[in-house]
Structure 1
Amino acid sequence: MLDWNDLRYLLSVVRQGSTLAAARTLGVNQSTVHRRVAELERQMGLRLVHRHPTGYRLTEMG
């Protein structure tokens, strides 16, 4: 079942450009953000973000 908080995490990662910055903004730890975005991708069966050394960017499907 889709968790709407996971979408919030994804949106924050894309806006902030990193899981660390998103975690700080959301008041959770970085591993939680990473894990929830990965779980959202797993549930949807899609890769939603490209992970680069310089940050996260949405894929076409994201």
Structure 2
Amino acid sequence: MLDWDDLRFFLAVARLGSLSGAAKQLHVAQSTVGRRLGSLEESLGVRLLNRTPDGYLPTMAGDQVR
């Protein structure tokens, strides 16, 4: 089941490009951001962000969610 609150974690990572940046903005631990992002991707059945040397970048599906 989709937890709509997970969307704010995805959006923070997509905007800031890192789990640590999103964690600081959301006042949570970096592991929480990763876990919530994973939960959202699992519930949707699609990868939303790709990890690159330059940070996290949205996939095509991630662009549609954004």
Q: Which runs of 5+ in 2 are unaligned?
A: none
State the alpha-carbon separation in 2 of the partners of residues 25 and 53 from structure 1.
21
The TM-score, its normalising length taken from structure 2, stands at: 0.89
- Corresponding position of 1:46: 46
State the alpha-carbon separation in 1 of the partners of residues 16 and 3 from structure 2.
20
Secondary structure in 2 aligned to 1:61?
Answer: helix
Amino acid at match of 2:61: M
Matched pairs, number: 62
Percent identity (aligned): 53
The TM-score, its normalising length taken from structure 1, stands at: 0.94
Secondary structure in 2 aligned to 1:46?
Answer: coil
Q: Which runs of 5+ in 1 are unaligned?
A: none
State the alpha-carbon separation in 1 of the partners of residues 21 and 57 from structure 2.
14
State the alpha-carbon separation in 2 of the partners of residues 10 and 61 from structure 1.
12
| Pairing 1:4-43 to 2, within 5 Å after superposition | 4-43=4-43
